[in-house]
Structure 1
Amino acid sequence: MESKAEIRKNVLHQLTVKPESERESETQKLVAQFLKLDEYQKATAIGITISNFPELDTHQLIERILKDQKKVCCPITRPYHQMDFIEISSDTNFQKSNFGIWEPEWKKEKINNQPDILIVPGIKYALDTHQRVGFGGGFYDRFLKKFNGHTVTLALPEQVALSTDWQIESTDMPIDQILH
């Protein structure tokens, strides 16, 4: 059984060396699957991160969600491994967090911690248990304990495991749906 740290290292390496043409093709297929979901069609607000390489690129998906006249809510990290989701618009200011992630400027009136759908990022996802290996901070697991909406992830082939081959912790929260 691999440790989560080993999984992070191995999967991130695989994603880093993946040919860009494959990444783009696979990303387009996953985005198309997501846009066809009934949950997406009915949703008014979507929670989504602004991706960094080598993650699945979310920039075009964010543009599409806005084009579909739905609210886009992006996370901002808070003290004690907490997060808020902030509704963004064309005039939102962004800044890089201590983790190197682009985050919207924090504005209390823009908080939306219950979007209809939350696209959960991560490193690896198990199809049997819907568990995930995240980036190691526990931000999403803490957030998901209080989240009532539908959770989904868009997983590139390197990120998918048929079964959970890592230690599941009591704090780990499963994802409702894994698109792959």
Structure 2
Amino acid sequence: MDKEAIRQNLIKRLKSHNPADKEKLDKLLLDDITASEAYHTSQVLATYLAFSFEYDTQPLIERAVRDGKKVLVPRTCSQGKMVFASYHPEHLIKGRFGILEPDSSRETAEPSEIDLIHVPGLAFNAEGFRIGYGGGYYDRYLADFKGRTVSTVYAWQRLDFKEDAHDVAVMEVFSQ
């Protein structure tokens, strides 16, 4: 199966996921990520604002803020670029993909300022390579990123597929 077919199958499955089961798994995944060494040693966490059918990142954001971490979320830019800016709920606008993102008044962070990036994805293989939504934003950003990377997915999102030459593996993938 090619990446586009995998992508479409997983989006369909995610959208039909039982909400009560999803909530339980999201809590377990939150426990996994917040118990990790990568989380405990980070001061600056970059994460994403999720689609309703993805792992719910809002509890992670709230926990990181309570834990005294600086939280960053992505903003997409022209030419397939992405930057991370400070998370402030009052300064979020709908971005080009229908997801909330920081407005352009928010100061962006340099990659070297970020300790840990929580990376989204639809599927992950055993080596930590991912299938995302097809825009390549994270692969381009992570190509030169020197910090740690983690992801959270449901167990059925762990698949066997061949990565492409431009793909960048995530260091640690938590699944439930």
Fold conserved between structures, TM > 0.5? yes
Query: Do the aligned residues in 1 keep the contact of 2:72 with 2:84 (CA within 8 Å)?
Result: yes
Alignment partner, residue 125 of structure 1: 124
Asked whether the 8 Å contact 2:75–2:83 carries over to 1, the reply is: yes
State the one-letter code of the partner of 2:66. Answer: K
- Shift in Å, 1:107: 3.7
How many angstroms apart in 1 are the aligned matches of 2:169 and 2:158? 14
Please list every run of at least 4 consecutive aligned residues from structure 1 whose deviation after the TM superposition is greater than 6 angstroms.
none
TM-superposition CA deviations, 1:68-98 (whole Å, max 9, x none): 11000000001111111001235x4111111
Name which of 160, 163, 171 aligns with 2:166.
Answer: 171
Residue deviations 1:138-177 (CA, integer Å, cap 9, x gap): 000000012111010001122112xx32x42111111100
Q: How does 1:59-138 map to 2 (within 5 A)?
A: 59-89=58-88, 92-107=90-105, 109-114=107-112, 115-127=114-126, 129-138=127-136
Identity across the alignment (%): 28
* Partner AA of 2:120 in structure 1: P
Which of 156, 159, 166 is the equivalent residue of 1:158? Answer: 156
Kept in 2, the 8 Å contact 1:87–1:112? The answer is no
RMSD across aligned positions (CA): 1.4
Structure 2 distance, partners of 1:9, 1:50, is: 20
Structure 1 unaligned segments of length 5 or more: list them. Answer: none
TM-score of the aligned structures, taking structure 2 as reference length: 0.93
Q: Report which structure shows greater RCO (CA 8 Å, sep ≥6).
A: 1
What is the Cα deviation at residue 126 of structure 1? 0.7
One-letter amino acid of the structure 1 residue matched with residue 97 of structure 2? F
| Structure 2 alignment gaps of length 5 or more | none
State the TM-score, normalizing by the size of structure 1: 0.91
Give the residue type in structure 1 aligned to 2:56.
Answer: D
CA distance in 2, matches of 1:60, 1:76: 20
Question: What SS does structure 2 have at the residue aligned with 1:154?
Answer: strand
Q: CA deviation at 1:60?
A: 1.2
User: CA–CA distance in 1 between the matches of 2:125 and 2:44?
Assistant: 26
